[in-house]
Structure formats: structure tokens, C-alpha cells
Chains A and B, each alone.
Chain A
Amino acid sequence: MPDALFLWILTLAALGLFGRRVYRYVKVLAGARPEKRWDHLGRRFRMAMVDVLGQRRLMEAPVIGIAHFLIFWAFVFFATSFFWNLARGLFPFLPIPSADEVRWMRLALEGFGVIGLLALAVAAVRRYFFPPERLEKSRDATIILSLIAVVLISSLLGQWFGWRAMRSVHMVTVLGFLAYLPYSKHLHLLASPFGVFFGSLQPGSVPAPSPGAESPGASTREEFTWRQLFSGLACAECGRCDRACPSFQSGFALSPKMLMHHMKELVRGGSNGLDGGRFVGDVVKREEIWACTTCLACMARCPVRNEHVPVLLEMRRRLVGEGDMDKSLQEAFKNLNRYGNSFGAQPRARPKWTQELDFRIKDARKEEVQYLWFVGDYASYDPRVNAATRASARVFHKAGLDFGILYESEQNSGNDVRLAGEDGLYESLQEKNLKALGKARFREIITTDPHGFQVLKHEYPAANGSRLVRHHTQLLSDLLLEGKLPLKKKLKMAVTYHDPCYLGRYNGIFSAPRRVMAALGLRLVEMPRNRTYSYCCGAGGGRIWMEDPPVFRERPAVSRVHEAAVLSNVRTLVVVCPKDLVMFQDALKTAGLEDRLQVTELSELVEQAMG
């Protein structure tokens, strides 16, 4: 049989298998809920350049990062040469040389072949001898590794020794690889560039609930958005998400990687996944769905930009729609709906914390102010946080800021309500807050609560014509830069700092608090898990309102205080979020570290330095 004909048959077979599978995936995605990801094309393109061509996220672990970078570029090269040779093989009358007949191409192929094999060896050694936790050691992965090795080796052998048979081996292997691709985890080769391109431009953004839906959220294939389903297809099963996830690390049921696996099965298997049970509840268990703290560590690490949190949120919406949740969460929702706070405390008691101040805070509902301070539930009602809240008030007062609060009219901002899946309640709280804000006159909103900050800045429509929202660390940092915050002394002590999820990963605010601490004269000793790698305290996503299942490993907050406690000479853990304050104080008690470490809100230190 002439070469060309053989090649044609193989190629068509491979393309057919490949195409059939891909077509099916595309059809499923097309039948899913729409989600707009065509905006800001320029920005998306740049993002893809850096993340795909530069393999940015993989570089966080340099050894495998470089190895993968080399394998990636080797692949690009070999793919190019393959298609080049394929074209030549299928259309022998084309007057082009084959790839290895062009000198620079041959050299590049040899070079990348050798480097590629070395990188592959590194990857294999890591996978089989020093696997990081949660790396999926599947048969699929072994097959892929072997195929790539064969591709590279056959190419090299073919070039160095001129063995024509090797060329056939090479071609057949590559075609086989192509056909196998959409059935394996290496679909990520195809999917990830699109995943990155269509990735989320704002961390933590979630699609709005479908209006008037009989059954909110998602449980079947058609109810998730195409981007959410796509995450399942793009997953390379690397396990970075699991390694980052505080819930998973504590021993909660949730594994972000398994979640993506379930999504993949959902796309492959039909409306409810392969097992036939309901996706929400049977395939993905309730404990998994509720275990997420929405800290975004998984999404910040994922090299293919998968969207674990929006998937969980859609499932939470479905459960909430059915009234399916534990009693404490139910109680919290009831209290939030009725009293505007999760404690079930009377609204009149919200401003009680101000009584111990020796000055009066302006009532922003009645008097015009420059800064409207949105205080937050925990800061107002929890006696453990009140001291910090008062410190913030005194700092603002001493700095001569024209600020006021909404007193009893303030309601919970709704951030965690929204992420717990109760959109109706969130809208109700937002409405009430907007009503109060609408009546007040102010230039900007400041808040000491990162959770409130997130939703006030990104989800609330401009209140009172103002779009300006700042967290108090940003305000303090700016005031210091402008020389408007008079400090009398330097606090010469070593501290460590916990980046709260909602300032850090959600909003990229890392420098402002550090500038403030530096200005105070503090010597900051960073914990190993800092900035984007900060380890969540475990309170977010409504988890602080839910019952904790018994766990067999350290809870997130306990793990975090241990991390702080081992830093020599550091006796203070600085926080800038009321929930962090509460969680870490409790964790110190649980871990018996109260003598070793104390948790302090930044405002308290600023107050000390102001004299």
C-alpha cells in the first residue's frame, strides 16, 4: 500500500475519533447556560500570552514549572513539525521540504527532543518517586507520559540514525495521541488555552442567579454555565487545588480536584453524571458543597484557571432553594432576614459598642460626612471584636477624619449570605443597606470588614453617587503617605501578618497593610503562606454560621496560628478582619498557645503608635 494512502487512512481515523469527541463536548457546552466571557478581549489575550506561553502559574513550583515549560515548548515545536510533515505526507505533490530537511528546524527538533526528554524524566521522577500530595496517579497519566516519550524518542532516533521506521512510529504515535487526547486528562492541552482566555477577570465573581427561576442554582448539565462545565474538561488533575484548600487540608469532605472530576463526568455522562443519582447531593455530597470557605486558594493556584467556587455556589443555590441546609445555617438566615444580623440580636443593640467611647460618632443618616464607615456585624455585635472596633474609631477620630456610621440602620452587607447561596436574602439586605445609604450624604465608604468591602465595592450599585470604597488599611496607608496620620512613636517589635482572603486573593490588596506596619516601626516577619498563598481562617462562605463536622486534622485557624507561633521573636499576629480576629483567638485557646501569641487588629497598633 502506498505510504500516502496508509497515512490518509490513519489520519482520517485519528481525526474522526478526535473530532467526534470534541464535537460532543462542544455540543454539551453549547447546550449549557450562557455566560458572557467575550469582554475585554485585549486583556484576555494578554492573560493568555503570559499564562499559556509563559506558563506563569506553574512557575510557583520552580522545578516542575521549568520542566513543564520545556515540555510545553517542545510540544509546540513537535506539533508544528508534525503538521508540517503530515501535510507533506498527505499531499506528496506539495513542493515543500519535510521538517527535518530544513536545517534550523532539524536542530531545533533535536535540541527540544533532548531537552524535552530530560524534562520528561524530571517529571516522571517527581510523579513516581516524589509525588506531591494529591497528584492524581492515574493510568491515564502513565499512558500520556509514555506516549510523549515515544514521540520524542522516535523522532530523535529517526533523525540521528535515519531509521525510516522510526518516522512511521512517530507518526502513528502522534496520531494515536491525537485520537486519545479528548478521552484523557490531556484534553487540557486543547482546553487550557481557552480556559485561560475565557477565565474570570475579577477574582471571585460569580454569575448572577437566573431571574425568576423556579429552581435556582444548578444540578444538571444544562443548568451549569458552559464555563463551569468547561472547568471539568480542562482539569489536568495536578492536585494544586487540593494542596491549597484549607477545608480539604483539615479533613473536611471537600476536594476541589474531585469536584472538577465530577464536572468532567457530568459533561461526559449525561444530565446527572454517570452514576444516575442526582448530581447535587448524590454525586457531590452535601458535606462537600457546604465545606467551602470561598477563600479562592484553589482558583488562585489552578494553572488552567478552573472555577471551583462558582460551581459550588450554583450547587449551594440549589440546596438553599430546596431548604436543604443544617439547622445553624438556617437559624443564621432567619436571623439575618429578621434582624439584619446573624446573631439574632436586636437591631437597636448594633451601635452599643460606641457607648464606651468618650466622643460621639456622627450619625451619617442625619449629618453629612466625608467617610461613611460601614462597620459590619462582627465588629458591632461580637464583644471579642468591640475593643478593636473602638480602637479604629479612636484612630479615625484622632486623625481628624470626618466620619460617621449608619447606627441601627446598617444591615449585614450580605457577602457571605450570597456565597452561601441565599440570593434572595442577599438582595433583601442589599436593598435595606442601599436605602440607608441613599438617604445619607458622604464622599466615600470605608470599612474595617474585608467581606463587606468585597461586596460593597464590586456588587453594590453606586450608592449616593459614590463609587469609592476603601478598606481601612488602604485609608490608613494613604493618610500616612499624605502625612495626615501623626505618629508619636515607633513600635519596635516583631509581628507577623495574616492576609485576609477578601483583601488579598479577592482584591490584590497586599501592600497597603504592609506599608502601615512599616510606618509604625514594626518588623514584619512573614509566615511561609503569605500574600496570595495566605491560609484561610475557615470562617468565610458562611462557614462561620454552620456546624463543624468532626475533623481528624487541624482546623484551618489552628494550623494558621501554629504557623505564626513557630516564628521566633514574634508574639503578635496582626489581622485586619473581624472574623480573623475571632477565629484566631479561639484557635489560640484550642491550641493552648495563648501564652505564646496574641492576635491584634492593626488599628490597635496604630492607636498605640499615635500615642
Chain B
Amino acid sequence: MTGNVSVLAEHWRGRISEATFETLALGREVADQLGVPLTAILTGWNSRHLAQALGVADAVIYIDHPLLAEVIPQVSAEALVQVLEKARPRVLMVPLTNISLAISTFVGTRLGVPVVNFCKDVRVVNGRLDACCVLYGGKIEATVETGEPSGPQPAILGIWPGARPAEKGRVERTVPVTDRAVVLEDTRGIQLTKYIEPEAGDVDLTKEDVLVAVGRGIQDKANLGLAEELAKTLGGVVCGSRPVIDQGWLPLSRQVGKSGLTVKPKLYVALGISGAPEHVEGMKDSGLIVAVNSDPRAPIFHVAHYGIVGDVLETLPVLTEAVGARKAATHHA
């Protein structure tokens, strides 16, 4: 454990999260470069069986406790601190998601070690670690040095979703699982009382092959019709980024992103979406991503395969017509 690379594995409703696999993939790379083992840390209550999915790691540490059944950041952090304090890893990587957010901060402050957020890449340079972080809504890349061999350990890195493809971290292999016991008193007066499920929408975005996504660049609810035309012509449905849902232009069931759905359609057309990390998180694994935005510097062009710089409202109808014509021709050929 000491001196190795550790990854906090998170699970949600009985499954290891995609972000965990991405983080494990990154962890595997760094561990190999440093020449140290990769350990996955799993917490929960009666969740030991999930360790099977963490095969990309060399070992799994499982912390079992009834108070860890639901993730409460301070409680999870307390458990981690108890386990890591005596045997400190070189690096601890924590996925930055709705589930594990804040855990990295708590562990960092309690162990008195550095925390670096928004990491999308980690490189080993001269024996230390350089974390490449995206700041300011994705507009700035900062390289931060941390994880000196002689420095405070562990260096805690908050890993932004999309750092590596999840496939690389998904290995079904039997790995040795070590149980660790912790002493947890209470949940500090925090208690989950119930879940509120989202209302069933008319469509299940995760099942669609083609999604036409709209962002603030669509400017007005009245322009949604243009997007719907394109979606219909392409045989897909319309979805949106958070601002569009917040404005009430689309229902919650159509939200793609951090607090919405994660989708992987064959085609994702992003219209007037700036590409803030919270949205990209939900669609970055789509087969083919085409983005239209009037700002040539929009971060969406990082994740898109094809980009068009232009006025969304002008481009949309022209595109719809071209697609319609092409489709008709294809069908008649």
C-alpha cells in the first residue's frame, strides 16, 4: 500500500461507475510508469462482490461498514483516512462525480496533503507527477507539479471524467481483496431519508442512436423547432445541456451531463453548446460528435470530431435541408 497508486472506486446502485473505470485506466498507466502496484479502494456495506470488476488493479482493499452503505463524504473520508494514514500511498486518485465530490478535499485536509482538482491527465516527469488540469470552465489548461517522492503523501488527485477511455479500465479478473476494518461512530447527523426518482420521460435518451443537443446558443425556446426538424430528419431526438433544462425549454428527462444522463449515441450533434466539462462528461463517448458554435474557441471543439464555426440559427435549416435531400437520394438509389 505504501508508495503505490490508489484509486477510490465508487459504485452507485450496485454498479461500479464509469468514472471509476476511467480513473483506474489512468491509475494503471501512472502505476506502470512509476513501477508501483495499483490498488483500488472500495467502500460499502455488503458490496464486496463489486471488487470483481476492479480487475485492472493489482489489489483491492475493501472497507465494509453499515455507515458506508450510502456515500456521505465526511464518513467515507474518515474511513479512508483510517486506512491510509498508516500506509500512505504515493498517489490517491478520486473520481470527481456527484457521488464522490468533496471526498478528495476531506481526505486531503485531514491527512495534511496536497489536493489537485480537475485533472484530465497525469504524467510522470522526472519521478514526480505533473497533473494537467482544466480550469475556468475548460478554457485554461494548467500543469501542476505534485507527488514529489520526498513530498507529502499521498498526493490526492481529483480526476475529471473523460481522462481516459473507460474500456481501458474495465478488466474482469480475480484480484486479491483485503478487508480493512474501520471504526465509524455516526454519520455526523446526516441521514438519507429517501430517493426521488426522475419522472419518466417520453424518450429514453440512452437508447437513441442519434441525438441533437441544444445549448444556450439556440437563444430562444421558439428555435427548438429547428432542432427538432433536424432530429426528425436524422431519425433521432432532441436533448439539451443544463441551462436549456433550467430555463424550462426541455424537460429533465432530456438533460445530458453531470446531473443528467450519460449518453453514447452513434451521432451526437451539439448545437450552440459551449462544451463546459459538466456537459461533456455526459456525451464524450458518443460515436461521432459534430459541434456547431459561433465561438471558434468553444471547448466543445475539443471533444467533437467535426466542428463548424457559425451561427447556429443560420446553419440549422440549411443542414436539415441537406440531410433531408441526401436521405431521400440515398433511399431512392
Contact = CB atoms under 8 A, between A and B. Distances in A.
Direct contact of A and B (CB under 8 A): yes
Interface of A: 327-328, 383-384, 547-548, 589
B247 A548 contact: no
A548 B222 contact: yes
B222 A327 contact: no
Contact of A328 (B220, B294, B317): B220
Contacts of B294: 383
Interface residues of B, number: 7
A547 B317 contact: no
Contacts of A383: 294, 311
Contacts of A548: 220, 222
B327 interface: no
11 contacts: A327-B247, A328-B220, A383-B294, A383-B311, A384-B311, A547-B220, A547-B221, A547-B222, A548-B220, A548-B222, A589-B317
Given A383-B311, A589-B317, 9 more contacts: A327-B247, A328-B220, A383-B294, A384-B311, A547-B220, A547-B221, A547-B222, A548-B220, A548-B222
Contacts of A328: 220
Contacts of A384: 311
In this complex, the member of B220, B294, B317 whose beta carbon has the largest number of chain A beta carbons within 10 angstroms is: B220
Interface string B184-204: 000000000000000000000
B136 to A, nearest CB: 14
Contacts of B311: 383-384
A383 B221 CA distance: 21
A205 B247 CA distance: 35
Nearest to A344: B216
Contacts of B220: 328, 547-548
A327 B317 CA distance: 26
Interface in B315-333: 317
A-B pairs, top 6 by smallest CB distance, nearest first, are: A548-B222, A327-B247, A383-B311, A547-B221, A547-B220, A589-B317
A548 B247 CA distance: 14
A384 B311 CA distance: 10
B284 to A, nearest CB: 26
Contacts of A589: 317
Contacts of A327: 247
Contacts of B317: 589
A351 B244 CA distance: 30
Contacts of B221: 547
Nearest to B220: A547
Contacts of A547: 220-222
B38 to A, nearest CB: 45
Nearest to B311: A383
A518 B311 CA distance: 36
Contacts of B222: 547-548
In this complex, the member of B222, B294, B311, B317 whose beta carbon has the largest number of chain A beta carbons within 10 angstroms is: B222
A328 B220 CA distance: 8
Nearest to B313: A586
Interface in B199-247: 220-222, 247
Nearest to A550: B222
A66 to B, nearest CB: 45
A328 B218 CA distance: 12
